[in-house]
Amino acid sequence: MKLTYKFVQGILLGFLLFLVACSDKTEIVDPPPAYTPTPYELEIPYAFPTKLNIPGDNPLTVEGVELGRYLFYDGRLSGRTHPDSLMSCSSCHIQENNFEPGVDHPVFEGGFVHGLSGQQTHHVVLPLVNLVWNSSGYGWNGSFYNNNENPNQRQIEDIVTLSVIAPDEMYGDTSRVKALFQSLDGYPELFYKAFGSDQITFKNMARAIAQFVRTLVSADAKIDRYLRGEEQLTQSELNGFILFTTEEGADCFHCHGGFGNPLFTTHLFYNNGKDTIFDDPLDRFAVTGDPMHKGAYKAPTLRNISLSGPYMHDGRFATLDEVIDFYSHDVKWSDQVDPLMHHVLRGGVQLTPSEKADVKAFITTLHDEKFLNNPAYSRPEKFPDQN
Amino acid sequence: MPIMTVLLFFAFASCQKRNTTEESFGETAFHINHLIDNEELKTDALIYTNAAGNRYMVTEIQWFITNVRLVAEDGTEHIVSNQDEESVFYIDTDIPESMTINTGQKFPAGEYAGVKFTFGFDKAENQSHRFVNPPQSYMFWPIYLGGGYHYMKLNGKWINQQGKTEPFNFHLGIGQEYYDESKTNGALYNFGRSDSYEHCSGYQPPSVLPPVMGFIHNYFTVELNHPFTIGQDQTSSLELLMHIEQWFKAKRIYDHDEWGGAIMQQQDAMEIGIQNGPMVFELRNGK
């Protein structure tokens, strides 16, 4: 593909650039028409929010998402080609494990991940599920949020950049990564189709990956079919649902959703009573500076949660049973414990063994096989250079 | 309800057209403020004592008012609607923008006697899934407990009888009638005060919960008689105040030690809130 001009998606920008280019050059060759990518229609599932967190300068396009999927899975995203130093998003975010490594990962023991430098990540991995509906902040402490004063800490695009350079992740260098992909057959053309230029920029790489991540939608678990009136829950699952959504029961719904909030999270930050001393330098307090936010973290979605151990920001619980036991008997009082944890002085919600089994049965109805096996989210068979 | 809204809209629109020559218009802006003992609320500060003698603090307050009306001196009511042509307003101490209601609507200039609104939602308005977007969607009230939305979440902590700070969630919404052997002679029957949900009919709940037999819609109307003027082409500024301590004392004393941290399943506790509620609010002229 020979291009004399840089084409940017969008008529106005294209036109502006055209003008700029015109003034620089005296002789104008008729430019080939800029490729217009096809808008990607994200379907809003039943009862899901209609407001999406998509930055204005990076709308979803079919071509962008396709490119993003390649990059998400291509181990050369680390900027290296030696088989030992390949790493991509999918090294830690694995589809069949709810885009988490999984507790039985062959390399990341117990699901605790480390980067190419060998350094372990500060917190355990978060799943990549329905993130396009999260407007309150990404990361366990929500340090990536839309109106952050720091423009490099706002969006999924910024998380991509961080993942590529951070020592506890890919430990790469964005210009080297960009140059490597420029040299790989097939990629420049995909960039042309997605962003109007076959000159690869790291910014466009991040944009494409973020687009792909925004399309990862889980909305067809058994609970969704129940909410849509298509399928009935078993007696035990129904018991669990009622317990989950009642204050006298397991009391999970204020933070983890229910019938009126099918995301199964508020994406908000709470101290859920795990500790009495708070010394993690990267808790919610680190973002807001409010001492009442010490020991607070984002309540993650419980969709497909049975696959995404170890649990809590520090991975202290290996199994869901341990989590349910914690909420039942082990909740600890502190000044910072969230008021919604109103069972705290009894040490928790005191579920009986059969109630615990019911709550677990309910949580299992949030398991979405279609999401975990959706071919559109899976590793491509071949990369654009046929590698 | 949508038909009503549409009718009102047309009535209002035609009114505007017909009257532009003879009548003049102005706007209103409500500023919401939460007070305890006439001082502006300080969140997370354990400095308050309620009428029952509980020392307490408030972390956050999230609430809905609906069907908000300006009452003109002649008794005519003018509905205040948001951009979606609905008279529904969500107020949240964590969201500063939500503390102002300024719809840009034009109301006839002149003298007004006060304001009326529904605290929470009446039965027809309280439909699950009417809000799919946060933060309103986070106010959902569990379907098993009646569905729809919390009218209010008032969260905080108090010092209990053992001297420990204990969380309270003073949440108001649809109440439930529970199966009570002593009242019903052991017969399972519907109290007939409200409808039951198909979802749960015939459902035998887990051990800790007696079956729900019916629902009680706990919304109430607030009437604030306070004269104000809407001047021609002017925005008249009004202050809508919530006197938090009144939730716990206006008519009946509410004692956190008696009711504990959670009341969504305790109609008797919510009932106190509902009786006190109409006296919690005050309208003042804005500064």
The residue with greater pLDDT, A167 or A29, is A167
Mean pLDDT of chain A: 92
**Which amino acid would we find at residue A386?**
Q
Q: Where does the pLDDT of residue B124 fall: very low under 50, low under 70, confident under 90, or very high at 90 and above?
A: very high
Nearest CB among B134, B140, B157 relative to A258 is that of: B140
Tokens of residue A13, six digits: 């920008």
Q: Comparing B176 with B18, which gets the higher pLDDT?
A: B176
Q: Check whether A8 has a pLDDT greater than 70.
A: no
What tens digit of pLDDT does each residue of A52-104 get? Answer: 999 999 999 999 999 999 999 999 999 999 999 999 999 999 999 999 999 99
Ordered alpha helix ranges (H), chain A:
11-24, 62-73, 89-92, 156-165, 174-182, 187-195, 202-214, 222-227, 235-244, 253-256, 285-288, 320-329, 353-364, 369-373
Mean pLDDT, range B203-228, rounded to an integer: 82
CA-CA-CA-CA dihedral for A355, A357, A363, A367, to nearest 10: -160
Chain-chain contact of B167 with A339 (C-beta, under 8 angstroms): yes
Residue of B137, B145, B204 lying closest to A246 (CB–CB): B145
| Band of pLDDT at residue A20, cut at 50, 70 and 90 | very low
Q: Is B128 part of a structural domain of the chain?
A: yes
Tell me, yes or no, whether B169 lies in a domain: yes
pLDDT tier for residue A231 given thresholds of 50, 70 and 90? very high
Q: Which of B134, B164, B209 sits opposite A246 (nearest CB)?
A: B209
Higher pLDDT, A199 or A19: A199
- Give the whole-angstrom CA distance, residue A135 versus residue A137: 6
For residue B223, is it within any domain? Answer: yes
pLDDT above 90 (res A367): yes
Strands B235-243 and B25-36, bridge-based pairing: parallel
A333 CB neighbours in chain B (<8 A) are 164-165
pLDDT recorded at residue A13: 41
Using an 8 Å CB-CB cutoff, list chain A residues near B168: 339, 342
H helices present in B20-120, as ranges = none
**Model confidence at B197: pLDDT above 70:** no
Q: Predicted confidence band at A33 (pLDDT cuts at 50, 70, 90)?
A: low
Cβ–Cβ of A258/B165 closer than 8 Å? no
Average pLDDT over residues B90-108: 96
pLDDT score at B211: 78
Q: Across residues B16-20, what is the average pLDDT?
A: 44
Convert the pLDDT of each residue in A163-204 to its tens digit. Answer: 999 999 999 999 999 999 999 999 999 999 999 999 999 999
Query: Quick one: pLDDT at residue A303?
Result: 98
What pLDDT score was predicted for residue B181? 63
> pTM (2 decimals)?
0.90
The neighbour count for residue B75, using CB atoms within 10 Å, is 7
CATH architecture of the domain formed by A222-366: Orthogonal Bundle (1.10)
Backbone angles phi, psi at A229, to 5 degrees: 80, 20
- Mean pLDDT (whole number) for B110-130: 97
Is the confidence at residue B14, as pLDDT, over 80? no
Tokens of A346: 């009894």
ipTM of this complex? 0.88
Contacts of B274 (CB under 8 A, 6+ apart): B172, B218, B220
CB contact under 8 A, B203 and A238: yes
Range of the domain at B277: 24-174+218-285
User: Which residues in chain A have Cβ-Cβ distances shorter than 8 Å to B145?
Assistant: 245-246
Q: Does B209 touch chain A (CB under 8 A)?
A: yes
Give the pLDDT band (50/70/90) at residue A34. confident
- Number of domains observed in the structure of chain B: 1
Q: Which residues of B touch A47 (CB under 8 A)?
A: 129, 132
User: Chains A, B: CB contacts under 8 A, how many?
Assistant: 115
The pLDDT, as a whole number, for residue A288 is 97
The answer as to whether B146 is a domain residue is yes
- Whether residues A249 and B168 touch (CB distance < 8 A) is answered with no
Q: Which of A48, A292, A333 sits opposite B44 (nearest CB)?
A: A292
B140 to chain A, closest Cα gap in Å = 5
The pLDDT of residue A15:
42
List CB contacts (< 8 A) between A259 and chain B. 128, 140, 142-143, 147
B133, B141, B263: residue with CB nearest A49: B133
If one compares B205 and B174, the residue with the highest pLDDT of the two is B174
What is residue B205's predicted lDDT score, i.e. its pLDDT? 54
Residue type present at position A109: E
Mean pLDDT to the nearest integer, B101-127: 97
Interface with chain B: mutation pick from A228, A230, A246, A328, highest number of B CBs within 10 Å: A246
pLDDT of residue A257: 97
Residue B203 has pLDDT above 90, yes or no: no
Phi, psi of B277, deg, nearest 5: -50, -50
Task: State yes or no: pLDDT of A21 exceeds 60.
Answer: no
Q: Is residue B114 part of a domain?
A: yes
CB contact under 8 A, A260 and B203: no
Is the confidence at residue A5, as pLDDT, over 50?
A: no
Query: Would the pLDDT of B94 be above 60?
Result: yes
Query: A62-217 is classed in which CATH architecture?
Result: Orthogonal Bundle (1.10)
Q: Is pLDDT above 80 for A262?
A: yes
Residues of chain A with CATH 1.10.760.10: 62-217, 222-366
Whether B189 has its CB under 8 Å from any CB of chain A: the answer is no
Q: Which residues of A touch B171 (CB under 8 A)?
A: 247
Tell whether the model's pLDDT for residue B91 goes beyond 70: yes
| Lowest-confidence region among A191-205, B203-217, B236-250 | B203-217
A286 reaches B (C-beta below 8 A) = no
Cβ partners under 8 Å of residue A330, min gap 6:
A347, A348
Q: Which pLDDT does position B209 carry in this prediction?
A: 65
pLDDT of residue A30: 66
Of the ranges A1-5, A46-50, A212-216, B66-70, which one carries the lowest mean pLDDT score? A1-5
Query: What are B136-166's pLDDT values in tens digits?
Result: 999 999 999 999 999 999 999 999 999 999 9
Contact B209 A249 (CB under 8 A): yes
